[in-house]
Amino acid sequence: MSDLNKLTNWLHRQKDSSTSFVLEVALQKVIAHYGRMLNFSIDSHRKTAQVEVLLKGEKEPITVIVQEYELSTDNSGTYLVIKKATASREWLSVLLDDFICGRRFPVPEKYAALTKLVV
């Protein structure tokens, strides 16, 4: 691997680490009503993400792996499409497939600027 590739990979990891932190703070506010986030990571190059949460009343954490996502912006706003995702609970994987995957979700305006970090 060339020095340029090593530097590029290092910069990419640093960007994802910083982005993960910012998104984790934002997502924690959303998830707080249901439980607490234990871990969040994103790989913007591969368009993947992983979140681990401990839901209220649960003894074991749940892991959701976003295997492919897409962010897009048009005149009406910024949107997130989760194309493929699985979870550590079978029922949740089915729910993700039925209600989340393939749907276009608007990104709130106050978070739209963050999407430039993960594209």
Q: Give the other-Cβ count within 10 Å of 11's Cβ.
A: 10
Task: Give the whole-angstrom CA distance, residue 21 versus residue 41.
Answer: 8
Amino acid at 4: L
Per-position pLDDT tens, the chain of length 119: 676 666 556 555 555 554 555 566 767 888 899 999 998 888 888 899 999 999 999 999 999 999 999 988 889 988 889 999 999 999 999 999 999 999 998 887 777 776 666 55
Question: What is residue 119's predicted lDDT score, i.e. its pLDDT?
Answer: 56
The pTM is what? Answer: 0.75
Pick from 30, 32, 78, 70: which is nearest to 49 by CA? 70
- CA-based Rg of the chain, rounded to a whole angstrom? 15
Question: What is residue 7's predicted lDDT score, i.e. its pLDDT?
Answer: 54
If you write DSSP's letter for every residue of the chain in order, what string do you get?
--HHHHHHHHHHHHHHHHHHHHHHHHHHHHHTTTEEEEEEEEETTTTEEEEEEEETT-SS-EEEEEEEEEEEEETTEEEEEEEEEEESSHHHHHHHHHHTTT-EEEPPHHHHTTHHHH-
Question: Within its chain, how far is the Cα of 100 from the centroid?
Answer: 13
Q: The tokens 């982005």 sit on which residue?
A: 19
